[in-house]
Chain A
């Protein structure tokens, strides 16, 4: 907690985006999280990604559950729409919102507790439906807000602050997402914004469900020796496999790509996600191979990061279900509610 607000200073040489805004225009309220929390770093990266993409803040929607991570929707994009839902229920609200208005950019913010314990079912179904949203799972291995109980992502053998050892096997959101049909699956670390900011941009531009599992240390309850989600542990074991960045259509892709090492993935909006393989052997386009790699590396204690799986060919929920492309709030009432006769006709189809 900080005693006073961050002042707003008009720097003469601040960088401005295409809308003439500075990244400070994408910030939110003063964070009330513990100083040093990884989640704050993720919020800053979100602000930077939106800033760099020149997305108008009021064209974004932030949806979250409950937890320190879920609180962070207040700490970036002040001008955006947002809702803090019930614990674990963010995905269903996001699904509904995306169905009602597909013209906005949806960001779900959640934690390992919110997504992998109480909200596991909802999380799974949002992926299965390929809802067009970016889902940030800010993963610290504990329930931060309720003072540090192990969460479902805690590794076997990881120690709590008081020395208790976790024995239950972890749920890995990345392999879970691959198995459930998510079309953009990434892992990152709040401490590496050179990787995270471009990844968020790519995830925001990806059409369909994008998951970024961000290791985001809890400085108060899970940043000690023996924890496998601490800053020190993550810095030591994380390994960059595939770097991803978004390149808009207007920009020509200039770098020449060595066959097999980097390939641009075309997006719906005409832009591309440019992948740069840092790890030659890693294949982010083959779900089976990617899955195997992540599991194998995890067994060795390595934290593989980057865009680990991407499939741009799948239809998102709106397309599969032939949802209206026009936002419901712009439809005239008689179109939105076609009346009794239409309802009866519809019901008669099922008799």
Chain B
């Protein structure tokens, strides 16, 4: 067997330290993969019990915008989901979040409130996107006076100006931004900040820059200037559609680029009257930046995705754009799929009425004077600390797309949480470096013989397909939400697909009589009793040795009767509890692990004690 590099060969693997909060956190792969570390299985259990409001609140504590994210999150959790290791597809984690948001009761009285008196600290937040809103969400209830400056006439950032309403209805945005504004956050609309220096002079205790990456990339090819009237920069064009300045487009539209922005552009074009929309990609499909599900949704609307076409020039006849010239390419790939070489095989002209450029976004900090005190580094980006989000000017913090370039909403939220901690520490004259470490709480789920506090039995249902509005009804306006959300029946099935990876198998070595019962019952062969040894050797003793070095191997203390050890490959465990049910001495127990992730409110409590 070829062992992945991460496995240790020589040294005898020591017993696992399961008190390290990261150990079980990593077992909950979805939570580990979520930038804001949303406790996924825990909220799915709440949904399963019909406790939608509780599930919503639990989500909100981590990710602040469950209704928004339940529709448009980039969902890094799903590719990480363990379900896909024992079956075809991951749990529909993201869309279950939406179930909680759609079906919750009025939760307004459960939200953090503006305190009766302020703590006297004034925070300026620039840009009304998810990053700034998260900072405000965390700080306002502690008494900070938060003021958000936004250049546009509506809040939400790209969530409003760029993510189309057919994916994210305005009402959902308004509701969730409203919860934060209701905490006494001041929102100044139509207030572009034109000078960092001037703002600093206003004497705010801290400034948070959440201005995003607002500039679309340009494609300077012959004909660009001449055809300008019908050549649009993707994010500007989407914004102008969102704010109803643009209400139509030509029949034949080419979208250049194949990222998520391109997917929104092509689908928006269809809703503005285009009937022949092509997305033009330079490389083969395996190199596309767009998520597979965004590609599927676009293709379901009959968008044609054309690969291996590299834009060469715009064709402008009599001052009017009539088409684009592309070089056709051919790639030689190695067996891992990396490009070895590329070859131009020819040239084609594709007729069109409009072109939308969706090839990337950039930051733009022209409003921060280079003598305002902040240091700028590589690519003319401000120097920002990766853990504290502090710039070189101590009272100025960054987060979201403004900090390290374009990412996504859930990253903006996590940046916001961390920046809020730093801002609090800064305002309370504390050291910035010590962000509180995560904690771990374990609680047994045992209720009786073969009875656990969670639905432990493996359910072999496949992933539910999201119901969509039928094609014919989608295009009449921009605001018809395409996804309908899971039905009650679908949700009831989908929640059971979750493996409850946060309910851990906890092993108590001194109790084990080495009867092998747990090993035999385990449906995925992830347990073994063996002699101590190096990790490669230990993994080889498993009936189905996992192949992922990232996934932990649990190593127990010495067993009392023979001095051997119990090992467990965490990779494919179903958390089904059969080992614990089978063990005659309760050496295995199924315990819910709660990763304690601190937000600024915990620190404030600590400080007041």
Could you tell me which A residues sit within 8 Å of B by CB distance? Answer: 1-4, 6-15, 23-24, 34-38, 40-41, 43-44, 190-191, 193, 217, 219, 223, 231-232, 235-236
* B572 interface neighbour in A4, A11, A43, A217, Cβ under 8 Å: A11
Query: What is the size, in residues, of chain B's interface with A at 8 Å between Cβ atoms?
Result: 34
Nearest to B559 among chain A residues (CB) is: A235
Q: Are B523 and A2 in contact (CB under 8 A)?
A: no
B contact residues around A231 at 8 Å (CB) = 513-515, 561
Q: Are B582 and A2 in contact (CB under 8 A)?
A: yes
A contact residues around B457 at 8 Å (CB) = 4, 7
By secondary structure, the B interface counts as loop
CB contact under 8 A between A13 and B545, given known A36-B515, A231-B515, A232-B561: yes
Question: B543 within 8 Å of A by Cβ?
Answer: yes
Report how far A40 CA is from B584 CA in the complex, Å: 12
Question: B601 within 8 Å of A by Cβ?
Answer: no
Q: Are B458 and A9 in contact (CB under 8 A)?
A: yes
A15 to chain B, nearest CB (A): 6
Report how far A137 CA is from B68 CA in the complex, Å: 64
CB contact under 8 A between A35 and B460, given known A3-B450, A9-B523: no
Q: Are A7 and B458 in contact (CB under 8 A)?
A: yes
B237 to chain A, nearest CB (A): 44
* B517 interface neighbour in A15, A23, A41, A235, Cβ under 8 Å: A41
Q: Are B521 and A6 in contact (CB under 8 A)?
A: yes
Q: Are A15 and B582 in contact (CB under 8 A)?
A: no
Nearest to A193 among chain B residues (CB) is: B516
Question: B583 within 8 Å of A by Cβ?
Answer: yes
Nearest to B457 among chain A residues (CB) is: A4
Q: Mark B577-604, 1 if CB is under 8 A from A, else 0.
A: 0100111110000000000000000000
Question: B338 within 8 Å of A by Cβ?
Answer: no
Q: Are B450 and A44 in contact (CB under 8 A)?
A: no
By secondary structure, the A interface counts as loop
Q: Would you mind naming 18 contact pairs between A and B with Cβ atoms under 8 Å apart?
A: A2-B582, A3-B450, A4-B457, A7-B457, A8-B523, A13-B546, A14-B544, A23-B525, A35-B583, A35-B584, A36-B585, A40-B516, A41-B516, A190-B515, A191-B515, A217-B515, A232-B561, A235-B514
Question: B274 within 8 Å of A by Cβ?
Answer: no
* B516 interface neighbour in A4, A6, A44, Cβ under 8 Å: A44
* B584 interface neighbour in A10, A14, A219, Cβ under 8 Å: A219
A contact residues around B578 at 8 Å (CB) = 2, 6
Q: Are B516 and A13 in contact (CB under 8 A)?
A: no
Report how far A15 CA is from B515 CA in the complex, Å: 23
B contact residues around A37 at 8 Å (CB) = 515, 517
Question: B574 within 8 Å of A by Cβ?
Answer: yes
CB under 8 Å from chain A, chain B span 222-257: none
Q: Are B574 and A36 in contact (CB under 8 A)?
A: no
Nearest to A234 among chain B residues (CB) is: B561
CB contact under 8 A between A232 and B513, given known A11-B86, A23-B543: yes
Q: Are B582 and A7 in contact (CB under 8 A)?
A: no
B contact residues around A236 at 8 Å (CB) = 561
Question: B10 within 8 Å of A by Cβ?
Answer: no
Nearest to A230 among chain B residues (CB) is: B513
B contact residues around A3 at 8 Å (CB) = 450-451, 581
* A36 interface neighbour in B450, B517, B524, B562, Cβ under 8 Å: B517
CB under 8 Å from chain A, chain B span 487-524: 513-517, 519-521, 523-524
Question: B339 within 8 Å of A by Cβ?
Answer: no
Nearest to B582 among chain A residues (CB) is: A35
B contact residues around A6 at 8 Å (CB) = 521, 523, 578
B321 to chain A, nearest CB (A): 50
Question: B364 within 8 Å of A by Cβ?
Answer: no
Q: Mark B69-92, 1 if CB is under 8 A from A, else 0.
A: 000000000000000011000000
A contact residues around B524 at 8 Å (CB) = 9, 11
Q: Are B584 and A11 in contact (CB under 8 A)?
A: no
Could you tell me which B residues sit within 8 Å of A by CB distance? Answer: 85-86, 450-451, 457-458, 460, 513-517, 519-521, 523-525, 543-547, 561-562, 572, 574, 576, 578, 581-585
Nearest to B86 among chain A residues (CB) is: A9
A219 to chain B, nearest CB (A): 5
A contact residues around B515 at 8 Å (CB) = 36-38, 41, 190-191, 217, 219, 231
Nearest to A219 among chain B residues (CB) is: B584
B contact residues around A44 at 8 Å (CB) = 516, 519-520
B contact residues around A12 at 8 Å (CB) = 85
Known contacts A44-B519, A231-B513; 8 further A-B pairs (Cβ under 8 A): A3-B450, A15-B543, A23-B525, A35-B584, A37-B517, A43-B520, A191-B516, A236-B561
Nearest to B460 among chain A residues (CB) is: A7
Nearest to B520 among chain A residues (CB) is: A44
B contact residues around A24 at 8 Å (CB) = 523
B501 to chain A, nearest CB (A): 15
* B523 interface neighbour in A7, A38, A235, Cβ under 8 Å: A7
B contact residues around A36 at 8 Å (CB) = 513, 515, 517, 582-585
Report how far A34 CA is from B574 CA in the complex, Å: 23
Q: Are B544 and A235 in contact (CB under 8 A)?
A: no
Top 4 A-B residue pairs of the complex, sorted by shortest distance between their CB atoms: A36-B584, A44-B520, A3-B450, A7-B458
Report how far A53 CA is from B584 CA in the complex, Å: 31
B88 to chain A, nearest CB (A): 10
B449 to chain A, nearest CB (A): 8
A contact residues around B450 at 8 Å (CB) = 1-3
A contact residues around B581 at 8 Å (CB) = 2-3, 35
* B544 interface neighbour in A8, A13, A43, Cβ under 8 Å: A13
B contact residues around A38 at 8 Å (CB) = 515
A contact residues around B546 at 8 Å (CB) = 13
B contact residues around A217 at 8 Å (CB) = 515
Report how far A10 CA is from B87 CA in the complex, Å: 8
Report how far A236 CA is from B562 CA in the complex, Å: 8
Report how far A44 CA is from B561 CA in the complex, Å: 21
A127 to chain B, nearest CB (A): 29
Nearest to B88 among chain A residues (CB) is: A10
CB contact under 8 A between A34 and B545, given known A11-B524, A217-B515: no
Nearest to B85 among chain A residues (CB) is: A12
Report how far A76 CA is from B545 CA in the complex, Å: 23
Report how far A342 CA is from B12 CA in the complex, Å: 74
Q: Are B514 and A40 in contact (CB under 8 A)?
A: no
Nearest to B547 among chain A residues (CB) is: A13
* B520 interface neighbour in A1, A41, A191, A219, Cβ under 8 Å: A41
Nearest to B514 among chain A residues (CB) is: A191
Count chain B CB atoms within 10 A of each CB in A1, A2, A9 and give the residue with the most. Answer: A9
CB contact under 8 A between A235 and B561, given known A15-B544, A36-B515, A40-B520: yes
Report how far A335 CA is from B282 CA in the complex, Å: 77
A183 to chain B, nearest CB (A): 29
Q: Are B544 and A11 in contact (CB under 8 A)?
A: yes
Nearest to A220 among chain B residues (CB) is: B584
CB contact under 8 A between A14 and B525, given known A4-B457, A41-B516: yes
A contact residues around B547 at 8 Å (CB) = 13
B contact residues around A7 at 8 Å (CB) = 457-458, 460, 523, 574, 576
Report how far A348 CA is from B606 CA in the complex, Å: 106
A contact residues around B574 at 8 Å (CB) = 7, 9
